[in-house]
A and B are shown apart, each in its own frame.
Chain A
Amino acid sequence: MSAVLQIIEILLPILYLGLTGLYARNFFDQEHEKKSARAGLYGLLGAHLGYLTLLGVAQHAWPLGSMAEFLSVLSVSLTITYAITERAEEDSNTGMFFLGIASIFQVFSSVLMEELTTKTHPLLLENPIYGIHVAFTVLGFAALAVGALDAVMYILLSRQLKSRELGLFFRRLPPLIRLETMSRIATITGIVLLGVGLALGHFVAIYILEDYNLWDPKIVIMDAAWALYFVGFLVVKLRGLSGIRMGYLSLAAYLGLMLTMILSNMLTNSFHSFQP
């Protein structure tokens, strides 16, 4: 089992990067047929979900006990979100952006992934209630990532329209208003989901962990980052910033959140050890 998982861990980033390349080729050259990319997308999703299931079965716990596993779940969540969008909109031109970011998450995940035999999992991960907290948190991060990606596309298209140099982004990307709306909805969804996820995390930990410490730096940093995201979004909405400034802020906020999460994870050995 361990060998199979290791092979898939090597293959997944390669497949993600390959599929991103395929979508990029279709973005730049519309002559290519799109069926192979869509088949590849579903194949990759199947392989990734299969891998996470195998990992969960092998370690008898949710595959969310480490930063590597978290990034892998984040990657697959983004890919699922994109697959749903592509099917609903019948438009594969945004695939390059979604799969690009999912590839980055999966590359980091595979690099950071420990061998199954060397892994130790806290008992918390075996608790089924913990899954609800995890689901909200991962979906929250994925939604915020979608919001940031839509913001990136908004910025690219807006700059082309402003400069009147109407190139590929003008021809391929969805209308500006749609990107703005999608970014706003995804960001609101992300803030709500992540907020609920964090609150549930506190709730579950209080009742399950004996040595739960509310002042754990990781908890403080993550709560503060979420609060900043939330307040920042409210202020921006109330002040009525222009679309392009909203785009830059959304992107910066997401990058800040991810950086905060990575830094806070570096403070302790395990993502959920919660030791002071």
Chain B
Amino acid sequence: MSKMSTEIGAISFSHQNTTLAERDLLAFSSSEIEQSLAIFRDKLGGEVGILSTCNRTEFYASGTCAPTLWEDVKDLVAGIKGVRPTRLPVPHQFYGAEAARHLFRVSASLESLALGEDQILAQVKDAHEHLLGAEEKSPVLDQLFQLAVRAGKDVRTNTTLCQGNVSISSVSVELAKKIFGQFKRFTILLVGAGETGVNAGVHFRAAGAKDFIIVNRGQERGEAVAEQFDGEYMPLHRLSDACVRADIVVFATGAQHPLLDLESMRNIMRARRNRQILLIDISNPRNVDPRAGEPDGVFLYNIDHLESIVQENLQERTDQIPLAETILESYVDEWDAYLRARRVTPTIAALSKHFKSVRQQELDHFRNKISEGEYELLEEFSKRLIKKLQHNPIIHLRKSAASNELRSEDLDLVIKLHGLLDDDS
């Protein structure tokens, strides 16, 4: 287990600890983030980053503020959102390596409502962009978000966590692709112009479908949806004619009885000269009689079939969690190594400054006593000398920090031996 660090802190509001209404309340738009970063920074006196998506709002901070982060920002958040602080929900809080691990898990979509979803990585990148765009630099959080983006990419590349579709609409599109390949040449028929049908249509259009027919009981609504998809409206009594023309049919109506049975499907297939047809019935109750899927060339999937595919894909994603966590642990280790290296950076900088100062003092002593050429030689000689004298101590400090073997006494000894504290004063 990685050594705990208290350099950073995170507070998280997500689907795990808030209601949808609370998440809506806490959401920060892009412009709100830009405006708020400076305010938070002033208030906390350290680095601050904000990650806000439709399912989570999180604050990351680095510096002495980290352990009391929520107490420090609660009033500020309430002020920005125009609510009393007591109305704000209680966040999850993480400190040190746990905070870093949490962000890496978020970036890898292990913490997402839909496990393995793709959008979160882009949203973490956006949060990083906001951080980089702020007036004041945030080197620690910059490093943290860089690692988070890399970790998210690594998990997506080296596991199948984000593969396989996990929504009914995307599984429908995947099925249709396996039968028809590209959709450009094929016709999509939406039976029912409600929200579900339109959503399915949007997915097919995003996948390249161009030709739509909309069949709906109500003409006005049907024509409006047909216009939305640049398609053609046909009344419900012409469903069979529409099925003869279409290649993919999505049923999403509130009809209480089947709209398509075996006999009508046989007639449709005869008229189609047995060309393949995919029937996707996402209605409840079902709009297509299960026997209508019997003729050759008819592929019928109802909501239960699609749901079971979604569950299988989700299970495959769940199986990838241990592998993803192993990958993320390597990034937590890298984060710890970064923090350890950061601890010796000021000492190394002071040591280097100290040697330069001594060198300059000695050079000044000889400036008017030797010729210009001799002075240049002396300058070169002293430069090389201090470089060699510094080399071993600096390498030792870096190596022992990276391997977590550096004791604070060792650091104190280096500081005392070279009088680095005196130099600072």
Contact with A along B256-291 (1 / 0, CB 8 A): 000000000000010001101000000000000000
User: Once bound together, how far apart are the Cα atoms of A174 and B179, in whole Å?
Assistant: 9
Residue from A170, A176, A178, A240 in contact with B274 in the complex, judged by beta carbons closer than 8 Å: A240
A84 to B295, CA, bound (A): 36
A34 within 8 A of partner (CB): no
* Inter-subunit contact B309/A243 (CB<8 Å): no
Assembled-state Cα–Cα distance A164/B290 (Å): 13
Q: How far, in angstroms, from A176 to B295 measured CA to CA in the complex?
A: 17
Q: How far is the CB of A179 from chain B (nearest CB, A)?
A: 10
Is A164 a contact partner of B274 (Cβ separation < 8 A)? no
Tell me the smallest distance from the CB of B170 to a CB of chain A, in Å.
Answer: 14
Q: What residue of chain A has the Cβ atom nearest to residue B270's Cβ?
A: A240
Judge if B299 is at the interface, Cβ distance under 8 Å: yes
Is the beta-carbon distance between B276 and A243 smaller than 8 angstroms? Answer: yes
Q: Are B178 and A178 in contact (CB under 8 A)?
A: no
Nearest Cβ distance between residue A167 and chain B, in whole angstroms? 10
* 0/1 interface trace, chain B 283-321, chain A, CB 8 Å (1 if under): 000000000000111010100010001001000000000
How many Å lie between the Cα of A161 and that of B301 in the bound state? 9
Question: A242: CB under 8 A from chain B?
Answer: yes
B180 contacts A by Cβ under 8 Å = yes
Contact of B178 among A157, A241, A244 (CB under 8 A): A157
Q: Which of A157, A243, A245 has the most B CB atoms < 10 Å from its CB?
A: A243
Question: Which of B126-182 touch A at CB < 8 Å?
Answer: 175, 177-181
Interface residue? A1 (CB, 8 A)? no
Q: How far is the CA of A164 from the CA of B269 in the complex (A)?
A: 20
A43 to B273, CA, bound (A): 45
Contact partners of A240 in chain B: CB under 8 A: 273-274
Contact partners of B273 in chain A: CB under 8 A: 240
**A9 smallest CB distance to B (angstroms):** 41
A175 within 8 A of B: yes
Give the Cβ gap from A57 to chain B, nearest Cβ, in Å: 45
A162 within 8 A of B: yes
Does A176 lie within 8 Å of B276, measured CB to CB?
yes
A209 at the interface (CB under 8 A from B): no
Are A242's CB and B274's CB within 8 A? yes
Complexed CA–CA distance, A161 and B309 (Å): 12
* A30 to B: closest C-beta gap in Å: 9
A166 at the interface (CB under 8 A from B): yes
Whether B177 pairs with A175 at a CB distance below 8 angstroms is: yes
**Are the CB atoms of B296 and A176 closer together than 8 Å?**
no
> Which single residue of chain B is at the shortest CB-CB distance from A241?
B274
Query: Restricting to B178-219, which residues have a CB under 8 Å from any CB of A?
Result: 178-181
Q: Mark A154-165, 1 if CB is under 8 A from B, else 0.
A: 000100011010
Please tell me the size bucket of the interface on B. Answer: 10 to 19
Which residues does chain B contribute within 8 Å of A166, judged by CB atoms? 309, 312
* Minimum CB–CB distance for B292 against chain A, Å: 13
- B-chain residues with CB within 8 Å of residue A177 when the two chains form the complex: 179-181, 276
Known: A162-B299, A164-B305. Is A170-B178 also a contact (CB below 8 A)? Answer: yes
Q: Please, how many angstroms separate the alpha-carbon atoms of A170 and B180 in the complex?
A: 13
Cα distance A175–B299 when bound, in Å?
A: 14
Partner of A175, one of B179, B274, B309: B179
Bound form: Cα–Cα A176–B177 in Å: 9
The reply to whether B297 and A244 contact each other, CB–CB distance below 8 Å, is yes
Structural contact, A176 and B180, CB atoms closer than 8 A: yes
Separation of A240 and B297 alpha carbons in the complex (Å): 12
When the two chains form their complex, are residues A176 and B179 in contact, meaning their CB atoms are under 8 A apart?
A: yes
| A164 to B303 Cα, complex, angstroms | 12
Residues of A contacting B296 in the complex (Cβ-Cβ under 8 angstroms):
242-245
Name the interface residues of A240-260: CB closer than 8 Å to any CB of B. 240-245
CA A178 to CA B182, docked complex, whole Å: 10
- In the assembly, what is the distance between CA of A175 and CA of B173, in Å? 13
CA distance A35 to B269 in the complex (A): 44
Beta-carbon contact of B274 and A243 below 8 Å: yes
B181 near A161: Cβ-Cβ < 8 Å = no
Q: How far, in Å, is A181 (CB) from chain B's closest CB?
A: 9
Interface-centre pick from B175, B274, B301 (highest chain A CB count, 10 A): B274
Rounded to whole angstroms, the CA-CA distance of A242 and B276 in the bound complex is 8
User: Which residues from 169 to 196 on chain A have a C-beta closer than 8 Å to any C-beta of chain B?
Assistant: 170, 174-178
A175 touches B180 (CB 8 A): yes
In contact, A178 and B297 (Cβ under 8 angstroms): no
Asked whether A161 and B297 contact (CB < 8 A) given A166-B309, A240-B274, A243-B274, the answer is no
Within 8 A of B (CB), among A211-266: 240-245
**A161 vs B176: C-alpha distance in the bound complex, in angstroms?**
10
Kindly list chain B residues whose C-beta atoms are within 8 Å of the C-beta of A170.
178
Pairs across A and B, CB under 8 Å, 27 listed:
A157-B178, A161-B178, A161-B299, A164-B301, A166-B312, A170-B178, A174-B181, A175-B178, A176-B178, A176-B179, A176-B180, A177-B179, A177-B180, A177-B181, A177-B276, A240-B273, A240-B274, A242-B269, A242-B274, A242-B295, A242-B296, A242-B297, A243-B274, A243-B296, A243-B297, A244-B297, A245-B296
Starting from the known contacts A161-B179, A164-B301, A176-B179, 7 additional A-B residue pairs (CB-CB under 8 Å) come to: A170-B178, A175-B178, A176-B180, A242-B295, A242-B296, A242-B297, A245-B296
By a beta-carbon cutoff of 8 Å, the part of chain A in contact with chain B is 157, 161-162, 164, 166, 170, 174-178, 240-245
Question: Top 8 closest A-B pairs, CB basis?
Answer: A240-B273, A242-B296, A175-B181, A242-B274, A242-B297, A176-B179, A161-B299, A164-B305
